[in-house]
Amino acid sequence: MAAFVKALNAKIRSNPTLSYFCSTHFWGPASNFGIPVAAVLDAQKSPDLISGQMTLALCIYSATFMRYALAVTPKNYLLFLCHFINEGSQLTQGYRYLQWHHWGGKEKAGVLGAVEGAKEKAAAAGNQIKEVASK
């Protein structure tokens, strides 16, 4: 069995493409892509759910590993891409957080929500008047 494993390993390592796909140089970043995918999907959610501290931590984390991905030999461009996407997503989330909590987004949403509520009430009252007038 050990001879079979050695032969299989030698076969994999002799093919550069197979060697890359069977290495941590590939599987580390590939498995790490869940973080930027989640960040991109979170951009669809309400900004009041964003944690400012976690967003800052993820920005620092991604910037650090973008640098690391280019500092290792050989350069790990897949890891760089993963953290580049995450950095952009986290910066977007950070902007949304600041907009909501510090730059008046929450207040604007409250005013817009009140205006929409008033429009709905006015439309309902208008419908009731039409019903009474048609009888």
For residue 26, pLDDT over 80 is answered with no
Q: Where is 26: in which H helix or E strand?
A: helix 24-32
CA dist., res. 86 & res. 63, Å (int): 9
For residue 38, pLDDT over 90 is answered with no
Mean predicted confidence (pLDDT) in 1-10? 74
pLDDT score, position 116:
67
Record the pTM: 0.64
Mean of per-residue pLDDT scores for the chain:
82
* Burial class of residue 10 in the structure, from the number of CB atoms within 10 Å of its CB (0-12 exposed, 13-18 middle, 19+ buried): exposed
CA dist., res. 111 & res. 118, Å (int): 11
Q: Which residues contact 105 (CB under 8 A, 6 or more apart)?
A: 47, 99
